[in-house]
Amino acid sequence: MSTPARIGLLGRGTVGGAFEGLISERAPAVEAATGRHPEIAGVLRRSEGDFERILADSEIVVELIGGTDPARDYVLRALHEGRHVVTANKQLIAQHGDELFAAAREAGVQVRFEAAVAGVVPVIRVIQESLAATRISKVFGIVNGTTNFILTEMAASGASYEDALARAQDLGYAEADPTEDVNGADAAAKMAILARLAFHSPIRLDDVTYEGIEEIQPEDIAYAKELGLSLKLLGVAERVEGGLSVRVFPCFLYGGHPLAPVEGPFNAVMVEAPAITEITMSGPGAGGVETATAVLGDVVSILSGEAPVHEPSEQLEIVSDIASAFYLHLEVADRPGVLARIADVLGRNQVSVRSVVQRGLGDDARLVMVMHEGPEARFRAALDEIAGLDFLRAKPRAIRVIEEEFV
């Protein structure tokens, strides 16, 4: 049996607690992927725990304290002592990245920070690994969930900025002091990190200009809606003539833009390069277990060191009768009782109808129905019966429908 992989955990707030839970729940999966069984070597909290003892006992240090002091000291100590570090701390990386990366190179260890930008959206890995040798021209997106929630709320309900912010605070999407989020500073730190990685250039936080959303009026959003526009707080880092530009600003997008449908607390990042056209990635930008999952992904990468193992570890059955919703297109004789007969067949097979459009067609009629989700076998049984009805003028056509609607 291999030695356990011992992880020192600094900080045990929402994300730290979720990470501890994930480690215990997913330890067998980590071991299947990496050959190493992960264990928490110790937890440093504000009021308890001994950093030196935890450091001595750990092979990987996970920093989830936030802020730069004392996080920077702890992380530097860990790197100097030859420990790999995983952090979710955007300020630490944006302000002290160069110092930390140099320490990691010197010690021959890794520092990973996927969770520092866009939560579980794997933008750091994609830029650094998939696109490491690609000449990226632009990285941009929605990297602050608080402001995206507020703007979504203002657009949906016509609420004022103040009311939308209060609602975000009630729901836990904004902090009691939301300044750094709403004035664009949080997004600026994240864009400094993305720009550095995308352009291999030492971008400092001061290089990023930013504006926030505090002055947005509901009527701007209302007018813009008439023009087919939706408002987002965008971070944009791009190559321009003469160098780079890294900015954060509120911005309208036309309806066809891939970022236009990103709503609520979600984040999304697009990467453009001549060789890839564009890649868009989106997902939850925060949340305890989501952020902890990004941290765990980094831990797994450190432990595997090599490529994935590709060994099947589960034997799962293939199931064929899946719950599905269907669209059903019928051409029928246009006479009384037809709809009732069809509804009867559906009802007896426990297929529930969500919407119906009927239209005349000379002596015939077309019935287009959309069903609610249910076991496919029941719908198929109903369809077989319907296909045999004497008033049918053509073979019925059935197509699946995805019923869920999103954010």
Of 326, 328, 320, residue with least CA distance to 368 = 328
Quickly tell me which residue has 């839970």 as its tokens. 21
Residue whose CB is less far from its own copies, 56 or 275: 275
Catalytic hit among 138, 190, 225, 232: 190
Q: Which of 44, 126, 154, 41 is nearest to 297 (CA)?
A: 126
The CA-CA-CA angle for residues 113, 115, 118, to 5°, reads: 125
In angstroms, give the least distance from the CB of 344 to its own copies.
23
Residue 209 pairs with which residues in a beta bridge? 247
* CA contacts within 13 A on the Cβ side of 302: 28
Q: Which of 47, 48, 80, 46 is nearest to 61 (CA)?
A: 80
Q: How far is 278 from 271, CA to CA, in rounded Å?
A: 6
CB 176 within 8 A of CB 169: yes
CB of 69 to its own copies, least distance (A): 22
Residues that contact its own copies, how many (by CB under 8 A):
129
Active site residue 190: yes
Residue whose CB is less far from its own copies, 51 or 138: 138
Q: Of 39, 76, 101, 218, which one interacts with its own copies (CB under 8 A)? A: 101
Q: Is 106 in the site for its own copies (CB under 8 A)?
A: no
Site for its own copies in 363-402 (CB under 8 A): 366, 368, 370, 397, 399-402
Interface with its own copies in residues 260-279 (CB under 8 A): 261, 273-279
Token code pair at residue 104? 């990691």
**Distance, CA of 63 to CA of 4 (rounded, Å):** 20
Contact mark string toward its own copies, 283..322, x via CB under 8 A? xx--x-xx-xxx-xx--xxx-xxxxxxxxxxxxxxxxx-x
Question: Which residues in the 223-262 window bind its own copies by CB under 8 A?
Answer: 223-224, 226-227, 229, 231, 234, 238-247, 249-254, 256-259, 261
Cα–Cα dist 279/136, whole Å: 11
Yes or no: say if 52 and 125 are a contact pair by the CB < 8 Å rule.
Answer: no
Rounded to a whole number of angstroms, the minimum distance from the CB of residue 174 to its own copies is 19
Specify the residue, 44 or 369, whose C-beta has the smaller distance to its own copies.
369
Distance CA 87, CA 115 (A): 7
- The answer to whether 111 and 92 are in contact (CB under 8 A) is no
Q: How far is the CB of 93 from its own copies (least distance, A)?
A: 10
Please state the closest distance from residue 52 (CB atom) to its own copies, in A.
26
Q: At residue 380, what is the residue type?
A: R
Q: Which of 178, 196, 210, 342 is close enough to bind its own copies by CB under 8 A?
A: 196
| 3-state SS assignment for residue 386 | helix
Among 71, 78, 104, 174, binds its own copies (CB under 8 A): 104
Q: Return the residue matching tokens 């009927």.
A: 358
Q: How many residues does the chain have?
A: 407
Minimum gap (Å) between residue 242 Cβ and its own copies? 5
Least distance in angstroms from the C-beta of 215 to its own copies: 8
Residue that has been written with the tokens 């449908």 in this structure: 261
* 339 scored as a contact of its own copies (CB under 8 A): no
Touching its own copies, residues 36-95 (CB under 8 A): none
Residues 198-217 interacting with its own copies (rule: CB under 8 A): 199-203, 207, 209, 215-217
Of 185, 181, 193, 26, nearest to 98 by C-alpha is 193
**Judged by CB, which is closer to its own copies: 330, or 382?**
330
Choose, by CB under 8 A, the member of 114, 153, 181, 334 that binds its own copies: 114
Residue 392 per-residue DSSP state: B
Told to check if 150 binds its own copies by CB under 8 A, we report no
> Near its own copies by CB under 8 A, which window of 31-39, 73-81, 169-177, 181-189?
31-39
Considering the rule CB under 8 A, would residue 15 count as an interface residue with its own copies?
no
Catalytic residues: 190
